[in-house]
Amino acid sequence: MKYEMLQFEIQDNVAWITLNRPKAFNAINLQAVKELCDVANRCGSDKSVRAAVITGAGDKAFCAGGDVADFAANSERIEILVKEMTGALHVAISRFAWMNAPLIGAYNGVVAGGGLGLALACDLAIAAEHAKFTSAYTHIGYTPDGSSTYFLSRLLGRRRAMELFLTNRTLSAQEALDWGLVNRVVPAAELMAEAKKLALQLAQGPTRAHGGIKKLLNLAPTETLESQMERETRFIAESGSSADGLEGARAFVEKRKPKFVGQ
């Protein structure tokens, strides 16, 4: 697929995804989510991808959510349009959530609406100091989508999630850090360098083990203690017998740094 709404490249086992509609605050339309879905499928299927970074073009927004102007222009078929958009967006988020490679969010400005959902679905998150986080859905009379009700309640608890959704409170980058929405806040000029440093570190790690951790944490909220521990047993046995697991044990015994290959 030829991408028009985003940029995509793979370097040093890191997939770089850039939402590329800066004049529209990187808002997503139907074409954008179709392209994002294609990229998510590629990242999940390409074994050379051992980490991924998603960000937005420019310095004003990561993603302002759905293209509201496009919604207004298609009012006669809005229900169909929204179903088509959320269908592609939700598949993309699901692919990112279950792929082995960790997904790093690098938030370079406004994070709102569907952009908040996409941000919440990232495994690790770095925000520029000027980034802002808000739900924004009820500003236009909409309910949330893009995984935000799933991840936000798990990250913050029901009360704070309800507050953000009902009041559209805007969080600063520091507040997002304090609340646990992001892992780190850095000056804007350092954002991509920090994201690259983290991505390269992860890309040299045991990718299958990373994927196992993602799966275990995604499943944990709906499992019992015993069923989750059974999953842990299966996952650690599989990772221990993998190429990277065997290499890790040898390296430990030999007192050297392991050389993981992602298998």
pLDDT tens digits along 138-180: 989 999 999 999 999 999 999 999 999 999 999 999 999 999 9
* Sequence ranges of the domains in the chain: 6-203, 207-253
What pLDDT score was predicted for residue 246?
95
CATH fold of 6-203: 2-enoyl-CoA Hydratase; Chain A, domain 1 (3.90.226)
CATH 3.30.70 fits 207-253, yes or no: no
> For the chain, what is the mean pLDDT?
95
What pLDDT score was predicted for residue 1?
81
Query: Catalytic positions, please?
Result: 90, 145
d(CA 108, CA 55): 7
190-202 as b/e: b if 16+ CB within 10 A: ebbebbbebbeeb
What pLDDT score was predicted for residue 77?
92
Residues of the chain with pLDDT under 50: none
d(CA 176, CA 155): 11
* 220 conformational bin, left if phi > 0, alpha if psi -120 to 50, beta if neither: alpha
d(CA 64, CA 28): 8
What pLDDT score was predicted for residue 128?
98
CB 216 within 8 A of CB 233: no
pTM for the model: 0.94
What pLDDT score was predicted for residue 65?
93
pLDDT tens digits along 59-88: 999 999 999 888 889 889 999 999 999 999
What pLDDT score was predicted for residue 75?
87
What pLDDT score was predicted for residue 195?
98
d(CA 81, CA 215): 31
